[in-house]
Structure 1
Amino acid sequence: MSYDVLMFGWEFPPHNSGGLGVACRGIARALSHAGHNVTFVLPEHIPVSDPDISLVFADKPSSVSNTIHTQHLLSDTAYADGKRRLNSEGAVVDTSSSETLTLMSAVRDYGRQAEKIAQLTDFDVIHAHDWLTYPAGIAAKRASGKPLVTHIHATEHDRTAGQGRNEAVYDIEKSGFEHADHVLSVSRYTKSILEDKYNISEDKITPAHNGITETPPEDLPPVLRRWKRRGNKIVLFLGRQTIQKGPDHFLRAAKILSRKREDVMFIMAGSGDMQEDLIERSAELGIGDRVLFPGFVRGAKTNRLYQSADLYVLSSVSEPFGITPLESLLNKTPVLISKQSGVSEVISNALKVDFWETDRMAAKMNTALRFPSVANILAEKGHKEVKEINWSDTAKICVDCYNKLTR
């Protein structure tokens, strides 16, 4: 059976600040390639088009159509920038309380607009991604009577690393799970959080791991090429510099490794509310000259960083999934990943560590750098492993869920 899916998202590449938009596009495209019709709704009009998906903008009622493939050519301002100041999973960063209220107001507005969209659109099932879209999904269900699937990519528990949640966000998440006919979680790890922290029934949740899209290799920038030619090593952190991602744990491990080796450079790519503290901390630890902070990167620059690195490290405190290790392995760079992550469920050819064990993290970094044969085996086998991970499998789980809800 072919489904007409009304899908609600908050961001869409290239106007995304992280993994949420990438996952939404991957799932929507895979559903389309499998013969389903996806109407993907965004809260605001942005300059984006996609040949496989019907894009609708909630603030532009005239864009609602089951057949139109919207093509707009407006200013190239990233959707996650500007007054909302969001990170990739929708957490508010560096904002005043008034800006937080503005975000909540925007989420409520999206819900009101979603009700109108649901009344103008023909569809079989509603699919809403993360808390920012849950009020929209609930409103569409109320207006149409159609089943609602809420998809969780990151919880408030993850974003705050379990340290002082935003109650308003938590309440929206819990409401989304309770109003949903079924919940898709990005991993078994996240499923356990929903059961434990949100009191959602085990039977109501199905894990649906993320996929990955392969991209062509890139040439290394000259400065990194020269560094590598001299026999030096690079250990890479790439992600939001927030408490959830554990950049402080990475930095402590970098300090420990620096005592043993003088040939290692640490690159901490990304941005976030901890960045200034991390820069200051690296200086306090005496490794400021060995840690580079290139800021937020995307696209080809990301692949160049992966390819320049001898090891990629995911040091997250609580990572619902984590696409970056998959990206690293596609670029044939071995990975060291936190056991507190969903991606650890799908990769066996990786070094793994508990995020808080920085001594052991440093030791495993050193193993990968000291024994190239070990690193090469992990990279080659990991590369083959990751090439079997795709968005089509994620889409099949979505369709199985739709089947159960519509039969």
Structure 2
Amino acid sequence: MKVLMFGWEFPPHISGGLGTACYGLTKGMAEIEDIDVTFVVPKAFGDEDQSRIKLIGANNIPVSRTTFTFDEGGKTMEYLEVDSPILPYVTEDEFWTLKSKRYTGQTKFVETDENSKIEFSGGYGPDLLKEIRNYALVARLIAEDNSCDIIHAHDWLTYPAGIAASQSTGKPLVIHVHATDFDRSGGDVNPRVYAIEREGMEAADKIIAVSNLTRKMVIEKYGIPPEKVVTVYNAVESVNNEKGSLPPKGVKDKVVTFLGRITMQKGPGYFVEAANLVLKKMRNARFVMAGSGDMMNEMIARTAALGIADKFHFTGFLKGNDVNDLFSMTDVFVMPSVSEPFGIVPLEAMQLNVPVIISNQSGVSEILKHAIKIDFWDTYAMADAIYGVLNYSSLAQHFKSAGKTEVDELKWTHSAREVRKVYESTLQEF
């Protein structure tokens, strides 16, 4: 079975859980003999791990030329733009020259470099919606050049690309919902993002949700029939114990860690308030907020206002082995997410023998037994849990050992086999 998969980021160039989940799932699928995955991203940097999958960067595809591979003998033939719906231009003069001519309503004008390739940032910049649109334009060409049985698109950024690829090839579309704008915005939904999400869900033949929490959101907030939505839980990649570049701990205090985007969705404010409660009972504790986001300055100001800034450390965004360094110093990890479709970071912490406290409003709480679960808004319960783990060694040791045993069983190969079942049912119904 050939799968054409569209993502937005791929290690080592990731900014959150989406890229990590895509990488883990594709590696898991590589273990299944009859699955062949071609993974597409807007921008390929050239240093991605392609040992198990074929990776295509949309930034490397000329939009005025494409290649077809014929089954007979595997011969290839290149041709230049014949009735192409995409017209590339390099300069403003070229744009107006093309614009002055008569074309069908389906024709799209797109700015390219001198090699007729579209430039993508590979990130989440101010031109994000434009890049999503351009990604969809190139996705059509990629789909026509790469034969597949099914198309799989991850998260809202790639839904237009998945739809374009499906329409151009007639192949079924599966979309993977890692989060919705209701999660990211706390209910203050961006209507343009919501429209893209809903269009993707309605166009998809099958929808994979990363938790029952997310499945319920898709059904209730987007009006999708329940039989169309299937839950497949994420897993965790085996972490290594290689050291990064962080300096040694340097203090004897206990360390409590928050690791993630410092945004409303992740609940950093509740972490700070719980930290303040803990520090009223014990002073030999320090709190680390690792990550970046639009609430970072607000959190720094709040710790100062509470008079606990001397007990707080803001590291900025960490990646790779620096995360290992931080967890090696951590006595308890806290994920107080307001709305977390899944949440892979607690699994990574548990692999490294760190007890975890997670919110009941996270998808991962549906599958973990050896984690302390609290409501994100209950800062007193959060503070009690932190205090208990820091001060009762037998409690901490139980969650370390039982947690690691539990999380070691959460393999991406299992998730991949569940996704394969979704593919099979989709193809049977198509």
Q: Which residue of 1 aligns with 2:150?
A: 125
Aligned to 1:294, the other structure's residue is in SS state: strand
Displacement, 1:202?
A: 1.2
Is the aligned partner of 1:178 residue 2:202?
Answer: yes
Matches within 5 A, 1:5-404: 5-35=3-33, 36-49=35-48, 50-61=50-61, 86=124, 99=126, 102-162=127-187, 164-218=188-242, 224-227=248-251, 230=252, 232-404=253-425
Partner amino acid for 1:310?
D
Distance 1:320 1:64, change over 3 A: farther
Displacement, 1:65?
A: 9.3
Quick check: 1:249–1:356 contact (8 Å CA) kept in 2? yes
Q: Percent identity?
A: 42
Quick check: 1:220–1:308 contact (8 Å CA) kept in 2? no
Displacement, 1:226?
A: 3.2
Q: Which residue of 2 aligns with 1:79?
A: none
Please give the root-mean-square deviation of Cα atoms over the aligned residues, in Å: 1.9
Displacement, 1:31?
A: 1.0
Query: Following the alignment from structure 1 to structure 2, what is the Cα–Cα distance between the partners of residues 48 and 136?
Result: 23
Consecutive unaligned residues of structure 1, counting only runs of 5 or more, are: 68-81, 87-91, 93-98
Consecutive unaligned residues of structure 2, counting only runs of 5 or more, are: 75-119
Could you list the per-position Cα deviations for residues 289-318 of structure 1 after superposition, in whole angstroms to 9, with x for gaps in the alignment?
Answer: 000001100111101111211100001000
Aligned to 1:226, the other structure's residue is in SS state: coil
Could you list the per-position Cα deviations for residues 205-240 of structure 1 after superposition, in whole angstroms to 9, with x for gaps in the alignment?
Answer: 11111111112224598854432xx3x200000000
Distance 1:224 1:122, change over 3 A: same
Partner amino acid for 1:12?
F
What TM-score does the superposition give when structure 2 sets the normalisation length? Answer: 0.84
Could you list the per-position Cα deviations for residues 366-385 of structure 1 after superposition, in whole angstroms to 9, with x for gaps in the alignment?
Answer: 01111110011011001000
Quick check: 2:8–2:122 contact (8 Å CA) kept in 1? no
Could you list the per-position Cα deviations for residues 248-287 of structure 1 after superposition, in whole angstroms to 9, with x for gaps in the alignment?
Answer: 0000000111100100000000000111111111100110
Quick check: 2:159–2:175 contact (8 Å CA) kept in 1? yes
Quick check: 1:57–1:64 contact (8 Å CA) kept in 2? no
Q: Which residue of 1 aligns with 2:80?
A: none
Query: Following the alignment from structure 1 to structure 2, what is the Cα–Cα distance between the partners of residues 353 and 393?
Result: 28
Distance 1:406 1:84, change over 3 A: closer
Distance 1:83 1:114, change over 3 A: closer
Query: Following the alignment from structure 1 to structure 2, what is the Cα–Cα distance between the partners of residues 115 and 278?
Result: 43
Distance 1:335 1:202, change over 3 A: same
Partner amino acid for 2:199?
S
Aligned to 2:279, the other structure's residue is in SS state: helix
Partner amino acid for 1:192?
K
Quick check: 2:42–2:122 contact (8 Å CA) kept in 1? no
Distance 1:319 1:308, change over 3 A: same
Could you list the per-position Cα deviations for residues 193-212 of structure 1 after superposition, in whole angstroms to 9, with x for gaps in the alignment?
Answer: 11111111111111111111
Query: Following the alignment from structure 1 to structure 2, what is the Cα–Cα distance between the partners of residues 64 and 54?
Result: 17
Distance 1:212 1:278, change over 3 A: same
Aligned to 2:22, the other structure's residue is in SS state: helix
Quick check: 2:43–2:122 contact (8 Å CA) kept in 1? no
Partner amino acid for 1:344?
S
Query: Following the alignment from structure 1 to structure 2, what is the Cα–Cα distance between the partners of residues 237 and 297?
Result: 12
Partner amino acid for 1:191?
R
The structure having more radius of gyration, on CA atoms, is 2
Partner amino acid for 2:162?
G
Query: Following the alignment from structure 1 to structure 2, what is the Cα–Cα distance between the partners of residues 193 and 125?
Result: 25
Could you list the per-position Cα deviations for residues 315-355 of structure 1 after superposition, in whole angstroms to 9, with x for gaps in the alignment?
Answer: 10000000000000000000000000011011100111000
Query: Following the alignment from structure 1 to structure 2, what is the Cα–Cα distance between the partners of residues 362 and 301?
Result: 26
Distance 1:64 1:238, change over 3 A: farther
What stretches of structure 1 move > 6 A for 4+ residues in a row?
62-67
Distance 1:254 1:64, change over 3 A: farther
